[in-house]
Amino acid sequence: MEQRPDLGAESVQRYGHPYYTLYRAYLHRLLAEEVLAAQPGAVPR
């Protein structure tokens, strides 16, 4: 079993924010939805 290091405390200490991982497609969808809410038609579907 692979163990990943706990980057939470180190990330907060180094960057001031916790470390998160996110599925890229979810991030793209979220960003596109926010852009479309601000400017409809800005992102082709």
Domain boundaries, the chain: 1-45
* 35 close to 42: Cβ distance less than 8 angstroms: yes
Nearest to 18 by CA among 4, 6, 31: 6
CA distance 41 to 14: 39
By residue count, the chain amounts to 45
Q: Give 35's contacts (C-beta < 8 A, 6+ positions apart).
A: 42, 43
Report CA 1 to chain centroid distance, whole Å: 26
Task: Answer yes or no: is pLDDT of 28 > 80.
Answer: yes
Task: Answer yes or no: is pLDDT of 42 > 90.
Answer: no
How confident is residue 35, by pLDDT bands cut at 50, 70 and 90?
Answer: very high
Task: Answer yes or no: is pLDDT of 24 > 90.
Answer: yes
Q: pTM of the predicted model, to two decimals?
A: 0.53
CA distance 9 to 26: 25
Mean pLDDT computed over 15-42 = 89
